[in-house]
Amino acid sequence: MMLQPRLRFPSSLSLRLPRTIACNRPVQILTAGILPHPKGAGHSHFSIAAFCGKTPPKIVKSPAATLLPRLSQREKDELAYPPDALPGGRDVDTPYGAIKVYEWGPEDGKKVLLIHGLTTSSIAVGAIASELVKRGYRVMTFDLWGHGYTDSCADLDYDIRLYTSQLLLAITSSKLSWTGATGFGLVGCSLGGAIAASFAGYFPQMVNSLAFLVPAGLIRKERLAAQMRLLELGSLLIPSRILEKLIMKRLTQPLFEDNRDNSSSVGGDVERKPCQREAQASLRYPHVTVSETMRWTMQNHKGFYTSFMSTAKHMHGTGQLERWRLLRDRPNKTLIIAGSNDPIIVADELHEDAVEALGDNLDWRVLEGAHDITIARPKEIADAIFDSWQLEDMPIKPDSVMTKDRCDT
């Protein structure tokens, strides 16, 4: 048998290509399977980019490093997302980049961790957290990678491994123990619901109570099939900078529309109804709203787009039924709150799939509204959490109340 000669491409091959060829997008696509490139598919850079003189950074800094140092205190206070919009803020340095963590409430209060969604930041759960603190509980939340004041990991896939690592980094940064025998309650909103469900499955002993608010994870694949095909096709046919502008423009439009017509999530001429009025997200800054904070992040965080696209690709919002089944045998029921008119997480479908996954261990609630119920109806959500978890109000200490001049942890 004749041995076929093996073609060996040296790692420095791209350095021998003319610059005009090496930097050509079609050539990058064609050579992607030949030239060595990093495995971290969290971004679209090929190793050939090194020849173009651009080595992608592993960490993209947040506005905490790129914007805040240039601003006066007054300018910081006037931002759509002031860095101290929520009390007890701290910047946690990690090998993955800095994480913005907020933690406040009485130190001896029962602990609750809240995780926000795909396009928002900690502000999105700020009103719910404040309601919990009013009743004497210790709360924590943090900006997910590439959101708000948290850095972006440019060389990693945004999958459940990365988000699980972030959750663990956040809770272990506290001066209090969040990993003791008593555990903590876990509240996940939208994407945060998928993260919370996975975490509780892997670390059941750490989570004593669960609440999912319009959660991702069980979205039926047909609901997202068209969007995912468009993203994949667009990434091949549309120059990356143009695609980024198109997607960012779409994201800055109202995301929370009271419309159950499935076509509203794909496109087309549909009647759009206004979203519900937002509750006050920050007690310290009345002007802060979740929608304006979203736009501010998209405009000022250079790593947001990478985190959004990689999360959409790797952090599956569908087909997580098997992971959710791990929650069936938990000692306490899992609370799920849906929006009656949510076009993204359709209540009837979610209920059917949640019953299949959790059986009798499900506490199902529906609030009037769309996907924005977490920012429009925080008090009702807090009431449902207390009722479901069978919690008792704890006495509030004076230093747990946030004022304009002081934010205690």
For 134-151, the pLDDT digits (tens) are: 988 999 999 999 999 999
For 56-92, the pLDDT digits (tens) are: 789 999 999 999 999 999 999 999 999 999 999 999 9
Q: Which is more confidently placed, 242 or 195?
A: 195
pLDDT for res 318: 64
pLDDT for res 240: 74
pLDDT for res 279: 77
For 23-59, the pLDDT digits (tens) are: 444 434 333 433 344 444 444 444 455 555 667 789 9
Query: Does the domain spanning 63-222+275-393 belong to CATH 3.40.50.300?
Result: no
For 354-396, the pLDDT digits (tens) are: 999 999 999 999 999 999 999 999 999 999 999 999 765 555 4
pLDDT for res 234: 65
Q: Which is more confidently placed, 114 or 251?
A: 114
Mean pLDDT (whole number) for 216-237: 67
Q: What is the dihedral of CA 234, 239, 245, 249, to 10 degrees?
A: -20
For 231-285, the pLDDT digits (tens) are: 666 666 677 777 777 777 777 665 444 433 443 333 333 333 445 677 788 989 9
pLDDT for res 26: 43
pLDDT for res 368: 94
This prediction has a pTM of 0.78
Mean pLDDT (whole number) for 345-353: 93
Mean pLDDT (whole number) for 287-309: 93
Is a pLDDT exceeding 50 seen at residue 306?
Answer: yes
CB atoms within 10 A of CB 406: 10
Q: Which residues are registered as beta bridge partners of 101?
A: 90, 142
Give percent above pLDDT 70 in the chain: 71
pLDDT for res 373: 93
Mean pLDDT across the chain, nearest whole number? 80
As a whole number of angstroms, the distance between CA 281 and CA 144 comes to: 17
Spell out the domain ranges in the chain: 15-56, 63-222+275-393
Mean pLDDT (whole number) for 182-208: 95
pLDDT for res 222: 64
Give percent above pLDDT 90 in the chain: 59
